[in-house]
Structure 1
């Protein structure tokens, strides 16, 4: 039987090879091919790293458990298979307490452990910024089947500005002009709080690369606090089946510099898009090609 010294020396090249292989992986590969990472290694938000670690860590544990379980099953099938000439039932064993305790306690420990890690990460992600810590406050309003984004008290004069969107309009070949989608503009490295509300049915706010999604209900507003840490373009969508055109309920997210964000807010103010859009909302404003005036006229005709 090999000595412990020899086993240790044999493990050295294995560990070195594994370290070399991992060193050659891209950030995306190291995080289980999840979105939210690029070649720079900077995650999309301050929460993306821990969310990815929870996901990949859970899968590693589960795969290890699976390999052990499958190995024991194969070993039992081979070692205790029926031999040629054998008849009848094998010896039946019952009430092996050590094995029963092991098979009960280990799964419970795994479940409790995975639950504890999940709760820890979720509590960290769900922790809101204090009111005096928030740099940018946005209200994201879901509607069938588009999005409105309202930047609360965002102008230099403390005015609220907004951008109202319409649902995606794919071409006959299925292609889509993403520039025409509702766009949420956020400054990089700033503390952001997004209040999430719905106008009609249950929706779900999901920025894919941010690795987190939250439901939006009537009469129960949610919020999400985070820091965008990498400039760039990101895609968002509704993650809750919300009706006929659910698949067209898409939006863009642009994470830009602070100066670019200020210019965007100034542009909304110059365009006269000032105030709380909830106060004058009309459901028909969501229809492609209609503005507020046409929607109000159609409503009056309907009455």
Structure 2
């Protein structure tokens, strides 16, 4: 290779390094474009710290599924490595290994083990699903959530009083969107509705989200769910998790958990416009 070609290749390589660094920076900023990404860690399986009582079983189910999946993957990798290392005897192209029609113990093993695994997964999933969809007769607070293109309207009812509805517009920061104020250590019932397209009500710290589908009647239990908030006051981001149109990414809101004193003050200031 001529010196000129070597110099040209080195110069091209030097140019590619800053380009690659710029591309990596662009990808990093693009994936972190949302300013409402909650903090997560490995001990919770990269899930955010939950703020509801129902988040505990979801966290346990999530961690158990990951442990089972990783254990299954480890066993499969070990078996593949064992077969590749200890059965690597070279043979001629015409010499086939011994052909066996069936092996009853092995066939029973790879039939029963997946059956047991699926049965265990089904049991825990069904048990937790029943708990997560359970509704009480007298929740402390009822919230009617109306989704529309492209924001939210929250109407809160507590103690027979309907507070002033809170509605918003498409925004770029969840702090600027409509804010749903809720008390800590209380049971909250959500009633989801929409008149246009499918949306999805999602607060990451709930570890739960539900689609908001048009045309679902009010008496259908599928449009309702219930949580019990924990004693973790703060402001938490919420968003629509279903692609619903051009301003879907700006369909942001926030949930503010407050203590009893702040909650009573909030009720006193908002209950005057009961409808």
TM-score, with structure 2 as normaliser:
0.78
Asked if the contact 2:163/2:267 (under 8 Å) is kept, the reply is: no
1:260 aligns with 2:262: yes
What secondary structure is seen at the aligned counterpart in 2 of 1:161? coil
Give the one of 144, 148, 151 matched to 1:139.
Answer: 144
What secondary structure is seen at the aligned counterpart in 1 of 2:161? coil
State how many pairs are aligned: 230
Q: Which has the higher contact order (CA 8 A, sep 6+)?
A: 2
Q: 1:85 to 1:119 in 2, by over 3 A?
A: same
2:244: which partner in 1? 242
Give the one of 57, 61, 70 matched to 2:68.
Answer: 61
Shift of 1:192: 0.9
CA deviation vs aligned residue, 1:24-48 (integer Å, no higher than 9, x gap): xxx9543223102xxxxxx411111
Asked if the contact 2:239/2:251 (under 8 Å) is kept, the reply is: yes
Give the unaligned 5+ runs of structure 2. Answer: 1-39
TM-score, with structure 1 as normaliser:
0.71
**2-side partners of 1:74 and 1:29: how far apart?**
28
Shift of 1:75: 0.5
What secondary structure is seen at the aligned counterpart in 2 of 1:137? strand
**2-side partners of 1:29 and 1:91: how far apart?**
47
Asked if the contact 1:189/1:227 (under 8 Å) is kept, the reply is: yes
Asked if the contact 1:161/1:265 (under 8 Å) is kept, the reply is: no
Bigger shift: residues 213-222 or 251-260: 213-222
**2-side partners of 1:95 and 1:207: how far apart?**
52
Asked if the contact 1:207/1:235 (under 8 Å) is kept, the reply is: yes
**2-side partners of 1:159 and 1:181: how far apart?**
21
Q: Would you identify which runs of 4 or more consecutive aligned residues in structure 1 move more than 6 Å?
A: none
Asked if the contact 1:203/1:238 (under 8 Å) is kept, the reply is: yes
Give the unaligned 5+ runs of structure 1. Answer: 1-26, 37-42, 171-175, 276-303
